[in-house]
Amino acid sequence: MFKRPTSVEISSRLPTPTQVINKIPVMVRSQLIDLMPKILRPSLRLLPFQLQKNILLVALHSVFNEAIEDGDFEFLQGKWLKISVSDFALNWWISFDNNKIIMAEPSQNIIEDVSFSATGDDLVLIAGRKQDPNTLFFQRRLKIEGDTELGLEVKNLIDAIDVEQLPTSVHTLVDYSANFLQETRDELARVN
């Protein structure tokens, strides 16, 4: 008689993300990483700001819910943080008001108090805990400009991110993407 396998038995037979990644030649992975911003940039720029805002605010409130409840965002009250994803030409201005994170419309011409700028890859590596913001800062891959004290407060919040608070599908995507990027970079460094 045929016994239907359980989900645990099935998942134990599936290859791990690392096994899947390692089956793709490193040069192909590297080219994919280089190509992604070129492919995604036009699409992301066409996303209406309101949709970007809704997605980003939901994600930020999800990740920083405990920090918001603890009052850890009060330092941003009346101040503006600009986040730039340089290779995607995306910019967002974020602040804190009435116990919630807020975003300015691009048309508001906000002058930021501090700005953080990095590539999408580096931001994924930070979110996936594959790179430390301090390391990227000293390698000049994470740029922090403006109010130094405010920048340190923001960096400390980034350090405290608990990606596991994100919905499972988002957490899995971030984790998989960060592993893909880091393993490809590590392998390229060994080859070169």
Residue 111 pLDDT greater than 90, yes or no = yes
Provide the pLDDT confidence category of residue 13 given band limits of 50, 70 and 90. Answer: low
Provide the pLDDT confidence category of residue 36 given band limits of 50, 70 and 90. Answer: confident
All structural domains of the chain with their residue ranges? 48-191
% residues pLDDT > 70 (the chain): 90
- The model's pTM is 0.81
Closest CA to 120 of 151, 86, 92, 143: 86
Rounded CA separation 7/172 (Å):
18
Rounded CA separation 130/183 (Å):
10
pLDDT of residue 7: 56
pLDDT digit string (tens) for 121-136?
Answer: 999 998 888 998 889 9
Architecture of domain 48-191: 2-Layer Sandwich (3.30)
Provide the pLDDT confidence category of residue 8 given band limits of 50, 70 and 90. Answer: low
Residue type, 192: N
Identify the weakest region by mean pLDDT among 2-6, 44-48, 60-64, 175-179.
Answer: 2-6
pLDDT digit string (tens) for 45-98?
Answer: 788 889 989 988 988 888 888 889 989 899 999 999 999 999 988 999 999 999
CA-to-CA separations, 12 to 5, 18, 132, in angstroms, rounded = 11, 14, 31
